[in-house]
Amino acid sequence: MSRSVAVGSPRASGHGAASTASGGGRLRQRRRRRFAGIAVLLVVLVVSCVLSVVIGAKTIPLSDVWSGLFTPTGTENDLIIRELRVPRTVVGVLAGAALGLAGALMQGHTRNPIADPGILGITQGAALAVVLAVYTFGVTTLLGFIWFGFAGALLGALAVFAIGSLGRGGPTPVALALAGAAISHLLQAITSALVISDQQTMDTYRFWKVGSVSISDPAVIPQVLPFLAVGIVLALANASSLNALSLGDDVARSLGHRVEWARRAGIAGIAILVGGTVAICGPIGFVGLIVPHVARFFTGADYRWLLPFAGLLGASLVLLADVLGRIVARPSEVQVGVMLAMVGAPLFIALVRRRKLVRL
């Protein structure tokens, strides 16, 4: 006896309506989970900021922390809170959010699950520019590093995009990855040659290369902030195009997306976000690599949700790693770049063993 149901029959209509209602229920449930996830991440970020202000090399009572923030009287504790820990926390939030967003954009545009700032020549471009600034012009201040590092990051990304755009296929993910690898190795070789030839350049570059959110001059924050804001806007505006590009360039074009312009906007966003961060903090690894995978575990492949999750996760991760670095080596501290490498390596190994997480 056949169990099939005729299309259009009352039974089929009822079954279809039930399926539609069930699908709608799942979508609403998924949306509620994602909103709840955003709320949880905001709470985690606030807690991370509080820990970053409260915990440091010097133990400061909570009452002094409060008065230093809201009713300062010029004491030593007030200066530590306002001139050191608050700017450090702000830089950590900005750097982590920027690297998290940039990592998600890079993995989406290159369709490479292990893409990080180094794959598009951004870190190496910034490093070469900083070394040239020290070697040629004798620049030794962070304020001077910012503009050279930022310009180097942009030029590195533009060089990779220009070379990856050559040929009939345009800037395909494979072409961008290959061009990025070639340019990155070339820039790294030039940087090494310059550093080896001059002791002062080596000393300055070695300190910058460690990667730290501890800055000596808070005046650098307002200089970088507008660029990072533009990068964040470009990243979030790129979300719908990345959703279409994940289906393939031809499908994206058939859906009405301008693939080349979407890639240009994405690369520009990556260069601005990473360039600004690398210029102010030095190269900080693993954030752009790990955070998108963790965010994708909660949001799936929808970049409209993945990007905000990645930004919040990145900010919290950098702050917590920085706080941990102050605790494990008190009264000294371990720089956040080193802590992220120590924590990030085993975490990434655990992530790549879950095969579903590395599929884009």
The per-residue pLDDT for range 247-285, each reduced to its tens digit, is: 877 888 888 888 888 888 888 888 888 888 887 887 787
Report how far residue 190's alpha carbon sits from residue 217's, in angstroms, rounded to the nearest whole number. Answer: 29
Point out the least confidently predicted range of 121-135, 157-171, 217-231: 157-171
Q: Domains for the chain: give ranges and CATH numbers.
A: 31-353 (1.10.3470.10)
318 Cβ contact partners less than 8 Å away, ≥ 6 residues apart = 92, 93, 95, 96, 99, 213, 284, 287, 336, 340
166 secondary structure, DSSP code: -
pLDDT at 5 over 50: no
Residue 15's alpha-carbon distances to 8, 12, 18, 126, 319, in angstroms, are: 10, 5, 5, 59, 51
Nearest 5°: the CA angle 203, 206, 211 is: 145
227 Cβ contact partners less than 8 Å away, ≥ 6 residues apart = 150, 272, 275, 276
340 Cβ contact partners less than 8 Å away, ≥ 6 residues apart = 211, 284, 285, 286, 287, 317, 318, 321
- What's the pLDDT at 257? 81
Do the beta carbons of residue 267 and residue 89 sit within 8 Å?
no
For 183, the token pair is 């340019």
Work out the average pLDDT over 51-69. 89
Work out the average pLDDT over 164-187. 78
For residue range 223-246, what is the model confidence (pLDDT) as tens digits? 888 888 999 999 999 888 888 888
Nearest 5°: the CA angle 105, 110, 111 is: 95
Q: Which residue has the higher pLDDT, 287 or 348?
A: 287
The greatest distance separating any two alpha carbons of the chain, rounded to the nearest whole angstrom, comes to 89
Residue recorded with tokens 């990072």: 228
Q: pTM for the full model?
A: 0.83
- What's the pLDDT at 255? 81
Residue 259, number of CB atoms within 10 A of its CB: 18
For residue range 296-349, what is the model confidence (pLDDT) as tens digits? 888 888 899 999 999 999 999 999 999 998 888 777 888 888 888 888 778 777
Label residue 171 by pLDDT band (50, 70, 90). low
For 228, the token pair is 């990072």
Q: Which residue has the higher pLDDT, 198 or 209?
A: 198
Report how far residue 44's alpha carbon sits from residue 144's, in angstroms, rounded to the nearest whole number. Answer: 34
Report how far residue 262's alpha carbon sits from residue 248's, in angstroms, rounded to the nearest whole number. Answer: 13
171 secondary structure, DSSP code: S
Report how far residue 171's alpha carbon sits from residue 175's, in angstroms, rounded to the nearest whole number. Answer: 6
Residue recorded with tokens 């102050």: 326
Report how far residue 272's alpha carbon sits from residue 105's, in angstroms, rounded to the nearest whole number. Answer: 12
For residue range 11-25, what is the model confidence (pLDDT) as tens digits? 445 555 556 666 677
Do the beta carbons of residue 274 and residue 267 sit within 8 Å?
no
- What's the pLDDT at 43? 96
